[in-house]
Chain A
Amino acid sequence: MTPAYIIQTLVSFLAILMLVGIAWWAKIARHAPDLDEASARALIADEFPDHAVGAVWVAADHRSALARSGDEALIVYRAGDGYVARSTPWVRLAEGRPGKGGVALKLADFTAPRARFTLAEGATWPPASLGDAP
């Protein structure tokens, strides 16, 4: 680690900050529209093409959605300008405790540790429209 190398690394880091700033300024992220029933269903069908899906529930902030397929919960949620999909056993939804702002559900997955679902006032968890846990 020579001084020249350290300076070079610092300059590279500043260059990164500049590029990220330019990317932020340009506002050229993908248009990721809020989820509604139809778009959430389409997204879930894309991500879980071999799953039969019944009702689809969309979180109050339209950034995440949930569907039930047998004893599996199919989850999609927004990350940046894209969406991330995971499934988890349906019974584990009950481990998510509704708190201020909604439910943070642990997924037992290092690559996607938790999904958040905002709840409308008075809404139940797991969403009643998807049926009770078996």
Chain B
Amino acid sequence: MKIDLITLATPFFILAVILEIVLARFARTTTHYEAKDTMTSLGMGLGSQVFGLLTAGLVIAATLWVWQHRIFTIPMTAWWAWVAIFFLEDLVYYWFHRLSHERRFWWAAHVNHHSSQHYNLSTALRQTWTGGVNGSWLLWLPLAFVGFPPPMIAIEKSVSLIYQFWIHTEAIRRLPTPLEYVLNTPSHHRVHHARNPRYLDSNYAGILIVWDRMFGTFVAEDEAEPPRYGIVKNLGDFNIIRAAFHEWVGIAQDIARDPRHTLGYLFGPPGWSPDGSRQTSDQIKAAWRARQPSLASGSDNPIAPRAASRR
């Protein structure tokens, strides 16, 4: 079911990428594409479909098994069921995505989506090859346990993925304010892909940005500080195998060197090290705050109050 919707959407993905490139070619937008980067991003997209098959059977079987032990029976034909799963799936996505950034075992799979220094529609298709192996799909099982039919969950997951495609663009600056308040938009997601310290670990939303506003992870795009895209330590080349597996290799190297800290290297935040020789996102942000004279004393910057309360 999942593959079906994504497959149906693929021709539109392709047309949209062509449109974005052609608009940029004739100077209608400020979008940038670099051919090698585009190759890696799109190759990651195709590879993720292929690798996804390896664990798809397990995910479907587990979902069906849980659904057979469900509490309620929710009909796929009821309108309210679709409304409910829209909100609940999006809430699950928020926590999946937050976990994928805050703990290295899940970041190792999700980092793929962030390792491009570009932000365009091809970046949206830069998807993980290893998302099936870290068990993050378990987070969706409670929906089946409550009683949502597995095809309904699969459809809603696809809807979320397809929604998130179009927001990977610099061609759209801002939507009307009410929409920016409620929806995940190109502006909010640009912030999510930025490596500027002030933007790190924010805007985890899938479709609704309200979760970030509720749980304190929302950061607005500041026109005065354009996002610089990528990861804290950008990749040194465009090798697709490196892009797919580098963080797993990094974890393995760290554990081999210092097995006493296996748990920290696996489940600590990305950038964690026992001797503090590397920096986590929180440490990078704290250092950034300390460099801002106006923020140290408290200011109208939304990040400042947190800085003050931590001292």
Contacts and interface: CB of A to CB of B under 8 A. Distances in A.
Contact of A112 (B7, B43, B235): B235
Nearest to B249: A110
Main secondary structure of the interface of B (DSSP, over half): helix
A121 interface: no
A79 B246 contact: no
Contacts of B50: 9
Interface string A85-109: 1100000000000000000000101
Interface string A26-40: 111110000000000
A28 B291 contact: no
A49 to B, nearest CB: 6
B165 interface: no
Contacts of B24: 26, 28
A26 B33 contact: yes
Interface string B12-42: 0010011001101100000111111111001
Contacts of A42: none
A12 B18 contact: no
Contacts of A22: 18, 21-22
Contact of B236 (A13, A27, A112): A112
B21 A111 contact: no
A106 to B, nearest CB: 12
A108 B272 CA distance: 19
B171 to A, nearest CB: 12
A113 interface: yes
B236 A113 contact: yes
B253 interface: yes
A80 B229 CA distance: 14
B186 interface: no
B18 A50 contact: no
Contacts of B42: 16, 19-20
Pairs of residues from A and B, 7 with the lowest C-beta to C-beta distance, nearest first: A112-B236, A82-B117, A24-B35, A26-B25, A23-B33, A16-B42, A29-B34
B46 A13 contact: yes
Interface residues of A, number: 36
Given A16-B43, A20-B35, A23-B34, A79 B235 contact: yes
B234 interface: yes
B14 A19 contact: yes
Given A12-B46, A26-B22, A81-B32, A111 B233 contact: yes
Contacts of A50: 287, 291
A80 B36 contact: yes
B132 interface: no
A9 B50 CA distance: 8
B117 A80 contact: yes
A22 B35 CA distance: 8
B10 interface: yes
Given A19-B14, A110-B249, A28 B236 contact: no
A65 to B, nearest CB: 15
B197 to A, nearest CB: 8
Given A50-B287, A80-B36, A82-B34, 9 more contacts: A20-B35, A22-B21, A22-B22, A23-B38, A49-B288, A79-B235, A80-B37, A86-B236, A111-B242
Contacts of A120: none
B3 to A, nearest CB: 9
A123 interface: no
A15 interface: yes
B274 interface: no
A19 to B, nearest CB: 5
B237 interface: yes
